[in-house]
């Protein structure tokens, strides 16, 4: 307990240094902005701002980058609710019910509940990290490659279960995403895989390019061919403050989402992406009328939003303790740490306690700032969104082009987003949802690494995944989930067949 | 704009299967599976059986199975039919991105060389081309946006954030007095663009009348 207090006070003493406060605020503000502006994600932003942080000390730099990350979570929820365009993979779920609420004129309530839930979850997660960081590091260390692999399989299966449309197509998209992540030089043998002999591909497919192509450019194309479906809300935001009824129906989802998110965030390899999906599934399961979900159920916003924020925070644990990035943004954070001379791993907590705890404390501070930035200023964000789409998409396109170009100064990168944009558009036309593909892509390399390590230890026997108890139970969960996902889709398929 | 919808059974039987969404999807997956399998054929296979080819092989097998399942589904059960998409929008978007890519720094490809025009020209060009992807484009607004947004981006990315992105074409830099700094050049041209944008939006004939209707 004394440890807990000492760590927290150390953290807050670092976080309240004026420069760090300013950097946290800047990070949150920029994060919200890029989260709100569709087509510019935290990934490109962090990549762009990385060179600027060289002049700042490592703690401040990481505080600002972290601020961009969770600021974008907030901003991403805002666009998910108002434009049905999730800024981040973690707010995909928010779009389902949040946008429906916005269409019913309850955008203000959805935004407020998302912010309040996120703030609550952020607070709890911060305390939880301070309390559990050390013991949890030891638990996480028990996970071997076998368990990691199975854990990631569960994460991917969750993405399948929650993807809209055909389960089979979602599975195919995940497989394709993992396959794409394997393009490039094999780290173990140095052999080039599936590169067609192109030197451009020997480093693999750039995640930023793929993501911008598929979520930036392809999305524009999709919106242009489905004019009736593009969704900048025309209704009023409505009142901002949720009423008693809203609070009553969302308070349990917030609590459950927080718990779920905190736990899933700690587990390496899943992070903030998985948590909101899981929370949504849980809320839908527990709801008295599951049919309301997808039609503007406030629980479908409150739970996942709390979950993604809790997970975003606790996912720093695997990053700081094991050096495992749960998502692409965290992978960039690892890059930032290395540039600043900090080797991610278990030694961070003991060698750089000021940085570790300072970052965690600054997250709470940042969450408080975000509450202030987001709710009173929501009018500004909304005004940004009321610009007609015919003027929006050229701007998105321009930001994408500049963002991609500025990362490597390569015109070919810009051309590639056009290519991936077209591929994404073609996939959408064939009924594939691109989101699961991106998740598969993010986890792909790590998945393979662990698979190969596990198989090397077991001398090539795949049975190892069933012989390890933790891994076996994780795979069991995955199998059950797949079966459950298949069943209702069969039923739904029958229903539509009958009505036709 | 027509949307995809399930076809009624009797009609679907008569449709060429090529128009079935699942059929195309299945074909694509099978093609990807086969090429991935072929591309990883010559990778090292260590004696314990775990190597760089292991996961790609599993994946291509699984993709092939998924593709076959979709094909089967398309043959036995009519699915969603492809409607011909309007290709003008996507084509213009791609053209806009390609134009940006090839004019920002200049490229030479197959004997044709495009000079580097910098953000000052690449930006408006990309915006003007892409703007026509929307059916309800309005020239005056789009032109205003193209100039104004480019000015904004020049100041934000070039001046404030110092991103390594070419702003002005070299001939223009040569025209401006050599004693001026690069930043001064940038700010001056951004101001000129911004002023032009304001002028267009305010003074374009009919623009106010049309936007009010």
Structure tokens at B201: 């939006």
Task: Sort out which chain A residues have CB atoms less than 8 A from B123's CB and list them.
Answer: 398
Higher pLDDT, A22 or A439: A22
* pLDDT (0 to 100) of residue B33: 93
To the nearest whole Å, the CA of A293 is away from the closest chain B CA by 23
pLDDT one-digit tens code per residue, A150-165: 877 877 776 676 556 6
Q: From CA A149, how far away is CA B55, in angstroms rounded? A: 12
pLDDT score of A470: 85
Q: Is A425 on the interface with B (CB under 8 A)?
A: yes
pLDDT above 80 for B46 = no
Which of B37, B46, B101, B160 to mutate to probe the A interface, most A CBs <10 Å? B101
Question: What is the three-class DSSP state of A296?
Answer: coil
| Residues A90 and A361 sit within 8 Å (Cβ to Cβ) | no
Q: Are residues A411 and B126, on separate chains, in Cβ contact within 8 Å?
A: no
Per-residue pLDDT at B96 exceeds 90 = yes
**CB-based contact B66 A451, cutoff 8 Å:** no
pLDDT in tens, A415-465: 998 999 999 999 988 888 777 787 788 778 878 888 988 888 888 888 888
Kindly compute the dihedral angle of the four CA atoms of residues A48, A52, A54, A60, in this order, to the nearest 10 degrees. Answer: -100
The answer to whether residue B71 neighbours chain A at the CB level (below 8 Å) is no
**Among the partner residues A194, A411, A496, nearest to B39 by beta-carbon distance:** A194
d(CA A345, CA A406): 30
Rounded mean pLDDT of chain B? 81
pLDDT digits (tens, 9 = 90+) for A301-323: 888 889 888 888 887 776 666 55
Query: Would you state the structure tokens that stand for residue A394, as one six-digit string?
Result: 């050229």
Cβ separation A397–B138 shorter than 8 A: no
Q: Which residues contact B109 (CB under 8 A, 6 or more apart)?
A: B102
What is residue B117's predicted lDDT score, i.e. its pLDDT?
86
Q: Taking CB atoms and an 8 Å cutoff, what residues of chain B touch A189?
A: 43-44, 51-52
Looking at residue A78, its pLDDT comes to 81
Q: Does B105 touch chain A if contact means CB atoms closer than 8 Å?
A: yes
- The total of other beta-carbon atoms located within 10 Å of residue A413's CB is 21
Among residues A313, A328, A316, A272, which one has the least CA distance to residue A158? A272
Distance from the Cα of A362 to chain B's closest Cα (Å) equals 24
Nearest C-alpha neighbor of B195 from the set B147, B157, B123: B147
Residue B56 touches partner A, C-beta closer than 8 Å? yes
Residue in chain B closest to A193 (alpha carbons) equals B40
Coil, helix or strand at residue A5: helix
Q: Would you say A480 and A281 are in contact if contact means Cβ atoms under 8 Å apart?
A: no
User: Mean pLDDT, to the nearest integer, of B8-37?
Assistant: 76
Q: Which of A49, A191, A389 sits opposite B43 (nearest CB)?
A: A191
A263-298 burial, b at 16+ Cβ within 10 Å, e below that, comes to bbbbbbbbbbbbbbbbbbbbbbeebeeeebbeebbb
Which range is least confidently modeled, A30-34, A253-257, A359-363?
A30-34
Kindly tell me the sign of the dihedral angle through the C-alpha atoms of A262, A268, A272, A275.
Answer: negative
Domain positions in chain B: 11-82, 88-205
Give the nearest chain A residue to B129 (CA atoms): A394
Closest alpha carbon to A403 in B184, B61, B157, B201: B157
CB A357 within 8 A of CB A60: no
Give pLDDT, residue A264: 80
Q: Which residues face B20 on adjacent strands?
A: B81
> Residue B68 above 90 pLDDT?
yes
Q: Does A376 touch chain B (CB under 8 A)?
A: no
Q: Can you give the pLDDT at residue A364?
A: 86
What is the model's pLDDT at position A227? 54
Partners of B107 in the β-ladder: B114
Among chain B residues, the shortest Cα distance to A191 is held by B43
| pLDDT given for residue B35 in this prediction | 92
Residues of chain A found within 8 Å of residue B55, distances taken between Cβ atoms: 178, 182, 447-448, 451-452
Q: CB contact, 8 Å: A189 with chain B? A: yes
Q: Give the nearest partner residue to B134 out of A390, A417, A456, using CB atoms.
A: A390
If you average pLDDT over every residue of chain A, what do you get?
78
The pLDDT value recorded for residue A498 is 31
pLDDT (0 to 100) of residue B62: 94
CB pairs under 8 A between A and B: 206
**Residue in chain B lying closest to A454 (CA):** B50
Q: What is the 3-state secondary structure (H, E, C) of A80-131?
A: HHHHCCCCCHHHHHHHHHHHHHHHCCCHHHHHHHHHHHHHHHHHHHHHHHHH
Of the partner residues B4, B97, B164, the one whose CB lies closest to the CB of residue A417: B97
Q: Which of residues 82-101 of A touch B (CB under 8 A)?
A: none
Contacts with B195 (C-beta within 8 Å, 6 or more apart), sequence order: none
Distance from CA of B63 to the nearest CA of A (A): 6
Q: Do B93 and A224 touch (CB under 8 A)?
A: yes
What residues of A are in contact with residue B157 (Cβ under 8 Å)?
402, 406
Given a cut of 90, is residue A491 above it in pLDDT?
Answer: no
- Say if the Cβ atoms of B21 and A431 lie within 8 Å: yes
A185 by Cβ neighbours in 10 Å (0-12 / 13-18 / 19+) ranks as middle
**Contact between A179 and B60 (Cβ < 8 Å):** yes
- In this complex, is the C-beta atom of A176 within 8 Å of any C-beta atom belonging to chain B? yes
DSSP H helices, A214-270, are 218-225, 244-266
Å from A452 to nearest chain B CA? Answer: 6
For chain B, the C-alpha Rg in angstroms (whole number) is 26
**Nearest CB neighbour to B63, from listed A176, A417, A451:** A176
- Compute φ and ψ for A192, nearest 5 degrees: -85, 135
Longest dimension (CA), chain A: 67
Statement: residue B180 has pLDDT above 80:
yes
């Amino acid at each position: 307990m004394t440890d807990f207090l000492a760590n927290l006070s150390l953290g807050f003493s670092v976080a309240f240094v004026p420069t760090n406060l300013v950097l946290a605020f800047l990070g949150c503000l920029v994060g919200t902005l890029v989260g709100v502006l569709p087509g510019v994600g935290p990934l490109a932003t962090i990549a762009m701002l990385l060179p600027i942080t060289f002049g700042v000390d490592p703690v401040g730099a990481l505080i600002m980058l972290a601020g961009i990350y969770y600021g974008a979570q907030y901003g991403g929820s805002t666009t998910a609710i108002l434009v049905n365009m999730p800024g981040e993979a973690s707010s995909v779920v928010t779009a389902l019910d949040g946008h429906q609420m916005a269409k019913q004129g309850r955008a203000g309530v959805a935004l407020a509940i998302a912010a309040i839930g996120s703030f609550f979850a952020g607070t709890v997660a911060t305390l939880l990290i301070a309390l559990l960081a050390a013991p949890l590091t030891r638990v996480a260390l028990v996970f071997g490659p076998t368990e990691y692999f199975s854990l990631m399989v569960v994460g991917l299966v969750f993405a399948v279960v929650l993807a809209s449309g055909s389960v089979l197509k979602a599975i195919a998209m995940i497989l394709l995403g993992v396959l794409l992540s394997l393009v490039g030089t094999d780290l173990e043998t140095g052999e080039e895989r599936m590169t067609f002999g192109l030197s451009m591909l020997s480093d693999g497919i750039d995640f930023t390019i793929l993501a911008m192509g598929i979520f930036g450019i392809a999305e524009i194309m999709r919106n242009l061919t489905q004019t009736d479906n593009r969704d900048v809300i025309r209704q009023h935001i409505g009142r901002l403050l949720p009423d008693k009824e809203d609070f009553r129906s969302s308070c349990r989802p917030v609590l459950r989402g927080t718990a779920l998110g905190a736990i899933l965030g700690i587990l390496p390899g899943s992070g903030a992406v998985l948590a909101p999906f899981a929370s949504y599934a849980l809320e839908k399961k527990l709801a008295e009328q599951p049919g309301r979900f997808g039609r503007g159920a406030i629980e479908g916003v409150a739970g996942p939003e709390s979950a993604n924020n809790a997970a975003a925070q606790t996912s720093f644990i695997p990053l700081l303790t094991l050096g495992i990035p749960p998502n692409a943004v965290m992978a960039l954070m690892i890059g930032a740490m290395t540039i600043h001379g900090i080797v991610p791993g278990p030694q961070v907590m003991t060698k750089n306690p000021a940085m570790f705890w300072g970052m965690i404390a600054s997250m709470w501070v940042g969450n408080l700032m975000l509450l202030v930035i987001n709710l009173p200023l929501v009018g500004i964000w909304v005004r940004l969104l009321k610009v007609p789409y015919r003027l929006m998409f050229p701007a998105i396109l321009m930001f994408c082009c500049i963002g991609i170009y500025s990362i490597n100064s390569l015109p070919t990168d810009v051309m590639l987003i056009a290519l991936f944009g077209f591929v994404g558009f073609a996939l959408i036309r064939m009924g594939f949802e691109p989101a699961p593909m991106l998740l598969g892509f993010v986890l792909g390399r790590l998945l393979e690494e662990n698979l190969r390590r596990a198989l090397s230890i077991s001398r090539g026997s795949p049975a190892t995944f069933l012989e390890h108890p933790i891994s076996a139970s994780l795979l069991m969960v995955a199998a059950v989930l797949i079966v459950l996902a298949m069943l209702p889709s069969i039923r739904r398929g029958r229903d539509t067949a009958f009505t036709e | 704009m027509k949307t995809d919808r399930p076809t009624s059974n009797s009609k679907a039987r008569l449709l060429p299967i090529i128009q079935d969404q699942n059929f195309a999807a299945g074909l694509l997956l099978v093609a990807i599976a086969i090429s991935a399998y072929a591309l990883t054929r010559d990778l090292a296979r260590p004696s314990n059986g775990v190597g760089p080819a292991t996961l790609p092989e599993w994946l291509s097998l699984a993709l092939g199975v998924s593709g076959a399942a979709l094909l089967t589904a398309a043959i036995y059960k009519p699915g969603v039919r492809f409607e011909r998409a309007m290709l003008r929008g996507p084509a213009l978007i791609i053209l806009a991105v390609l134009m940006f890519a090839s004019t920002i720094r200049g490229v030479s490809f197959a004997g044709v060389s495009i000079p580097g025009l910098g953000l000052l020209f690449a930006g408006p060009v990309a915006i003007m081309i892409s703007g026509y992807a929307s059916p309800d484009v309005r020239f005056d607004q789009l032109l205003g946006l193209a100039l104004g947004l480019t000015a904004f981006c020049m100041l934000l990315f070039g001046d404030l954030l110092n991103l390594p992105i070419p702003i002005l074409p070299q001939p223009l830099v040569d025209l401006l007095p050599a004693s001026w700094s690069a930043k001064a050049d940038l700010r001056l041209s951004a101001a000129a663009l911004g002023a032009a944008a304001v002028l267009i939006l305010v003074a374009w004939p009919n623009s106010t009348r049309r936007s009010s209707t």
